[in-house]
Structure 1
Amino acid sequence: MKQIIVLFLFFQMLTVPVMAQQFKYHIVKRGETTAEIARKYNTTEETIFKYNPDARKGISPNTKLVVPVSGERVSENIKFETHRVKRKETLFSLSQQYNVSIDDIKRYNKHLYSEELRKGERIQIPINLPKTREEQIAENPSLSNPLDLTLKEHVVLPKETLYGISRKYNITIADLQRLNPNLESLQPGMVLKVRNGNVEKVVDVEGDLFKYYMVKPQETLFSLTRRFGISRDSLVTLNPALADGLKSGMVLKIPNKEVPETLEFEAEEIVNLERRLSNFDTKNVAVMLPFNLDKVVKTDTSNNSTERIKKDRVLQISLDFYSGVLMAVDSAKNIGISTRVNTYDTQQSAGKVHAIINSNDFSNTDVVIGPILQSTAEAAASALQFKNVPVISPLTNKQVNSLGNFLQARPTDEMLTQAMISFISENAEGKNLVIIADAASADKKRELMSFFPSAKIVDPKEGSFIDQEELMAALVEGKPNWVILEATKIGVLSNTTSYLNSLVDKYKVTLMTTDKNNSFDSDNISNNHLGKLSFHYPSVDRVYTAENSAFINKYVKKYGVVPNTYAVRGFDVTYDLLLRLASSEDLYSSLNEEGTTQYVENKFNYETKLSGGYQNKAIYIMAYDRDLNLKVVR
């Protein structure tokens, strides 16, 4: 009953005119391939495989395949002109030259949805497209017919539900069941009888990109933008009915991405655990790191050992991290926390980890720090799970299997992305958003477009070339322009940042990314340009601050060098764990009760994962200023 009410409200309130995707059966002929079938229906092989998963294994004669057929324009008798792409030509310039939309060019050249125009390639330009029904109605309103009661067929797609199908055709589930009296359960490929309700209110179900939310009493646009991490402009673009005001009971279309709990918009309250110490029992800590000492001791001289350390990246990281661990133990001792540390060499081997655990007593261990590699860290947590000994992975950022005693101290890449998206959504009001993404970042571009549907898109050409006219056309003078750059190709980054730098004063450009990968650190990318563009990005750590100069000075005095990021992380992770152990009955209690803690470079706020274990969700948003100083903006 509740679903029926929601559907009724949905059809009453939502007025987005989108034509639904249509499908038909194709009977495979002898000798036909999926590539040939894809070309015949002006689609791609991947689309064929999407609706017919078994086709990946091969197709045989007389097999029925579900294929998509465009429902937007009638394709019969359309004439095409073959165009050979010239240097510097873009989809935008071709759309202007032939008076067709970029979408129409892509529709008849499917590879352009995921690939760039290439000089010399030949593409098909439609030159006599019939007008869509919306265009015809706009010219002649008398053609509008709100009801289309003609029965038609719908081919059930994988994972489709009765609710989704009823929403697509704007009819009730009861209507579907009356039209299909023998319907018991949905199966992919099944053909259902359907009819449209109000064709002006038909909703396209776009995979898992969007979901629907019914507005509750007293909710406001402001509260909804905060709840779902989407700007007001984007929300109105997805739901034109909002132009008449928000009403209780409206069903809104929103990006199908939950804003993680980590992305609260209010300023975080930092907890100082040094003021909450209550448990002064000696802490038993095990440190597992891949020192590979068996290889080091085999060298003949100290010079050889030094050279080996220089060449062994994993060993360098382990030693730097361990120096930070020892600094943390010493700092904890100064405030009354006594620690017993047992150190083990894992030798980068899961087998060695199991041998260490089997030959030592871990029953009184409060926490295991490390190992630093994903496979060995999971091996340690798995072996100690039955003893409920917490194991913290300080450096890995990949999703982990279900282990209730596993703590991941580094947020995942997806969490960094969501943190940046949330920051942009929170501040996007009144901004002109522009998205630039290279071919390798197609998935990231798709995700950004789902959150910011009103954003303008500028695609790199010929691998890394940014059309300056197209980019300038996407910017708005007199309004803040936030350019979101997603790329791993140095050419794209260099080309884009260089050109934006020349426009920054005129167009008020701020550069952002959800992924500050290693390519941003290339010598070909000017830091001066990044500073002038006030480059924003998500980060696990921040820069040193004056308040932490005491730690830096102490480290330099002890080791003779400034601590690197691994040494600082070793200190931050260990000191946080020792303070948590000293301020609660055990580590698990602290993880469940305490909020955000912050130290030299890193902050920690652990949440329980649905799959088991704990994940640090604390993330910084960093930005350059014109003097190339890094500052925390959130």
Structure 2
Amino acid sequence: MKYLIMMCLFFQVISLTAFGQAYKYHTVAPEENVYRIAQKYNISAEAIYKLNPDARNGVNVGSKLVIPLQEEKVVNTSEPVSFKYHKVEKKETLFGLSQRYNVDIDEIKKYNKHLYSKELQQGEEVSIPVYAKTETPLPKAVAQGPPPVQITKTREHIILPKETKFGIARKYGMTVEELEKLNPKVDVLQPGMMIKVATNVIDEPVIITDDAFQFYEVQPQETIFGLTQRFQVDRDSLMALNPGLRDGLKSGMVLKVPTRDARGRELEDIEVEVTETAAGEARATRLEDNIKDRSTKNLVLMLPFNLNKINNDTISNSKNVIENDRVMRVSLDFYSGVMMALERAKELGISTNLQVFDTQRQAGKVTSIIQSNNFSNVDAVIGPLYQATSEEAASRLSATGIPVISPLTNRELRWMPNLYQARPSDDMLRDAMIDYIRNNSQGKNVIIIADGKNAALRNRLNNAIPGSRIVNPSDNNISEGSIATSILKDRENWVILESESVGLLSSATSALNRLARNNKITLFTTNKNSSFDSNVLANDHLGRLNFHFPSEYKEFDETVSDMFIDKYKSKYGYVPNNYTVRGYDLTLDILLRLAAMSSLEESVRANILTEYVENKFSYRPKANGGFYNDAIYIMHYNDDLTLSVAR
């Protein structure tokens, strides 16, 4: 119970944003009115009336309202009526603050002058101007033509972002042709536009965000039996997905149908299960398609929750401990991902018995846990997090052969026959980056900038890439002129920057950014250390330089729907961080390997590569015993500071 309380305290809801305005449906509950609903979503009642004009006459229990998750931002020409004061948290940006408080970035900078030249600093207090609310004109209704004879009753529908005619037609029990006849002057749908629709509403949102489904328009002469065969779905499932079929199938009807068969395979590529690669390389495999053993799996999770720091007397004490203990927060984040993975595995028919132990970050505690509990039927141990505790667990269980998976440490672990290092080491990341540059730098002008601490790496790079040019910095600083002499205007210039000095990184990226105005320059590093995240470095410089670096994970694209991300946001109210996603990816991978390959070691012998939301896994045996994951991403910044996987 104490741990459940901690979890409830830790997970806090934050608002979600999207490109442009974001909307959702709200079903009116008993005792709710427009004013209370507006308070719930932190918007004005007028914002609700603009999208739901009939609400001015009152709302009924069970009726649905279109809710803007944020009111439209306006450019303010007046003086603020007051100020809010915001304490900056880790990774917060000006863009995020502007979205949260519905003000322009320039307005925030105007009242925080230092932000014109500096980035946000964690812990600083920022003044947020508050303006008097202004009215936004209601979107004009689209001129309507006479409705078709067969649709005698209509209602109005406000177009939301990403909605299509297929989705709207399906929701209101219409064909696309009927929808177009009701709205003859509407060609392209635009968010905020008002159109006429039928009144037979299916009780679900218009937008289908799960890529497991698609829209399909019924063709003449098609039958329900034919559709079940075409989309590999039984009749009852098709009827459940499309309640309108109870009234019969008709040509032009828009149906919701699966994109995958019962085994999870893409219907268009139903015979393709494994992607072949070059000789010796791992095969990219969807283990969900190869589940053979659906027996209950027994897992043990060892994490340093440090529950001994929690007092039972006050909730406030527990909250303070969680906020101030990074190790505890990481453990909680990872645990939440593990639990989501167990839910996903259960959906695939794999049940799990999970035992959770608090290691308190002590090797002695790990020994005590193993000696005091029966591990005879355990299939795998996930954790502990740190090198010493991971090695202790593997050592104590080596005689049993139970695999111990170290999820987060990037240090080289001791060799032990049952120890799996799931996170590639820094040396592996560096090797992968050097291989990428060597294999793709033909015809490029390669320039190496490395400080004295990285002299050995500079020599290694010079040997790996013959013909590369070396520019030596001076006192952790480098000038534009010293780099310019090595730049070639008629070729692509690949600059490799190796240092942990913030001063050198800042001067180098600033100089390269200026030189990039008239030259083609791409920036690389083999070690994206914490200095690259310093506020002294300008992120927009890294974006313009298309900065490349090796990483054990890729950041998921929030604009693309993903089943895990969508479920997590729905459950907890905010986007999961990389520790949570790693807990999910790693746990699901272990369960699927056990279900498809009978053991983790067998999956290593099969030489397979698996990939999930942010992480991929390709285990290799160590020379003296044990296994390591060598699946690595080469990431790069885009101009808009989003991240992509380098091809």
TM-score interval, normalised by the smaller of the two chains: 0.5 to 0.7
Provide the residue aligned with 1:18 in structure 2.
none
User: In the alignment, does 2:578 pair up with 1:565?
Assistant: yes
Distance 2:502 2:374 in 1: 51
Provide the residue aligned with 1:241 in structure 2.
none
Instruction: Tell me which of 616, 623, 630 is aligned to 1:603.
Output: 616
Provide the residue aligned with 2:636 in structure 1.
623
Distance 1:586 1:507 in 2: 53
Distance 1:345 1:418 in 2: 35
Distance 2:482 2:622 in 1: 44
C-alpha distance after superposition, 1:370-426 (max 9, x if no partner): 000110000000000000000000000111112010000000111101101110011
Distance 1:315 1:295 in 2: 10
Task: Give unpaired runs (5+ residues) of structure 1.
Answer: 1-262
3-state SS of 1:505 partner? coil
Distance 1:491 1:286 in 2: 45
3-state SS of 1:364 partner? coil
3-state SS of 1:582 partner? helix
Deviation at 1:294, TM superposition (A): 1.9
Bigger drift between 437-446 and 323-332 goes to 437-446
Distance 1:547 1:575 in 2: 21
Provide the residue aligned with 1:513 in structure 2.
525
State the TM-score, normalized to the length of structure 2: 0.56
Instruction: Tell me which of 601, 611, 631 is aligned to 1:588.
Output: 601
Distance 2:279 2:424 in 1: 18
Provide the residue aligned with 1:357 in structure 2.
370
**Residues 268 and 406 (structure 1 numbering): CA distance in 2 closer, same or farther, change over 3 Å?**
closer
Deviation at 1:455, TM superposition (A): 1.1
Distance 2:278 2:364 in 1: 41
C-alpha distance after superposition, 1:229-265 (max 9, x if no partner): xxxxxxxxxxxxxxxxxxxxxxxxxxxxxxxxxx979
Provide the residue aligned with 2:285 in structure 1.
271
Alignment of 1:459-498 (within 5 A): 459-461=472-474, 463-498=475-510
Provide the residue aligned with 2:551 in structure 1.
539
Distance 1:392 1:494 in 2: 38
Deviation at 1:292, TM superposition (A): 1.3
**Residues 276 and 547 (structure 1 numbering): CA distance in 2 closer, same or farther, change over 3 Å?**
farther
User: In the alignment, does 2:302 pair up with 1:288?
Assistant: yes
Deviation at 1:505, TM superposition (A): 3.5
Distance 1:510 1:268 in 2: 30
**Residues 268 and 609 (structure 1 numbering): CA distance in 2 closer, same or farther, change over 3 Å?**
closer
Alignment of 1:87-486 (within 5 A): 269-296=283-310, 298=311, 300-461=313-474, 463-486=475-498
Q: Which amino acid aligns with 2:286?
A: N
What value does the CA root-mean-square deviation take over the aligned residues? 1.7
3-state SS of 2:416 partner? coil
Deviation at 1:452, TM superposition (A): 2.1
Distance 2:480 2:336 in 1: 49
Provide the residue aligned with 2:135 in structure 1.
none
Deviation at 1:465, TM superposition (A): 1.9
3-state SS of 2:625 partner? coil
Distance 2:343 2:423 in 1: 24
3-state SS of 2:405 partner? strand
Distance 2:335 2:412 in 1: 24
Distance 1:309 1:572 in 2: 24
Deviation at 1:269, TM superposition (A): 4.8
Q: Which amino acid aligns with 1:282?
A: T
3-state SS of 1:567 partner? helix
Q: Are the aligned partners of 2:480 and 2:512 in contact in 1 as well (CA < 8 Å)?
A: no
Deviation at 1:293, TM superposition (A): 1.1
Alignment of 1:48-63 (within 5 A): none
Q: Which amino acid aligns with 1:549?
A: D
Distance 1:344 1:574 in 2: 16
3-state SS of 1:278 partner? coil
Deviation at 1:594, TM superposition (A): 4.3
**Residues 345 and 582 (structure 1 numbering): CA distance in 2 closer, same or farther, change over 3 Å?**
same
Task: Give unpaired runs (5+ residues) of structure 2.
Answer: 1-276
Q: Are the aligned partners of 1:392 and 1:407 in contact in 2 as well (CA < 8 Å)?
A: yes
Distance 1:264 1:442 in 2: 34
Q: Are the aligned partners of 2:283 and 2:607 in contact in 1 as well (CA < 8 Å)?
A: no
Distance 2:595 2:393 in 1: 24
Q: Are the aligned partners of 2:282 and 2:618 in contact in 1 as well (CA < 8 Å)?
A: no
Distance 2:560 2:598 in 1: 30
Q: Are the aligned partners of 2:610 and 2:616 in contact in 1 as well (CA < 8 Å)?
A: yes
Distance 2:351 2:312 in 1: 36
Provide the residue aligned with 1:552 in structure 2.
565
State the TM-score, normalized to the length of structure 1: 0.57
Q: Which amino acid aligns with 1:330?
A: E
3-state SS of 1:474 partner? coil
Q: Which amino acid aligns with 1:522?
A: S
3-state SS of 1:483 partner? strand
C-alpha distance after superposition, 1:455-496 (max 9, x if no partner): 1111111x2221332211111111111000001111111101
**Residues 604 and 346 (structure 1 numbering): CA distance in 2 closer, same or farther, change over 3 Å?**
same
**Residues 266 and 607 (structure 1 numbering): CA distance in 2 closer, same or farther, change over 3 Å?**
closer
C-alpha distance after superposition, 1:309-358 (max 9, x if no partner): 11111110000000000000010000100100001111111111011101
C-alpha distance after superposition, 1:266-304 (max 9, x if no partner): 9975210000000111100000011111221x3530001
Q: Which amino acid aligns with 1:400?
A: L
Alignment of 1:8-27 (within 5 A): none
Q: Which amino acid aligns with 1:340?
A: N
3-state SS of 1:376 partner? helix
3-state SS of 1:270 partner? strand
Distance 1:265 1:307 in 2: 53
Higher relative contact order (CA 8 A, sep 6+): 1
Q: Which amino acid aligns with 1:434?
A: I
Q: Are the aligned partners of 2:424 and 2:628 in contact in 1 as well (CA < 8 Å)?
A: yes
Distance 1:512 1:593 in 2: 34
3-state SS of 2:517 partner? helix
Q: Which amino acid aligns with 1:486?
A: E
Distance 1:438 1:548 in 2: 43
Distance 2:572 2:472 in 1: 49
Identity of aligned residues (%): 48
**Residues 264 and 438 (structure 1 numbering): CA distance in 2 closer, same or farther, change over 3 Å?**
farther
Q: Which amino acid aligns with 1:373?
A: Y
Provide the residue aligned with 2:515 in structure 1.
503
**Residues 403 and 309 (structure 1 numbering): CA distance in 2 closer, same or farther, change over 3 Å?**
same
| Aligned residue pair count | 370
Deviation at 1:450, TM superposition (A): 2.2
Q: Are the aligned partners of 1:265 and 1:426 in contact in 2 as well (CA < 8 Å)?
A: no
Q: Which amino acid aligns with 1:542?
A: K
Distance 1:347 1:472 in 2: 53
Deviation at 1:516, TM superposition (A): 0.6
Q: Which amino acid aligns with 1:505?
A: R
Provide the residue aligned with 1:205 in structure 2.
none
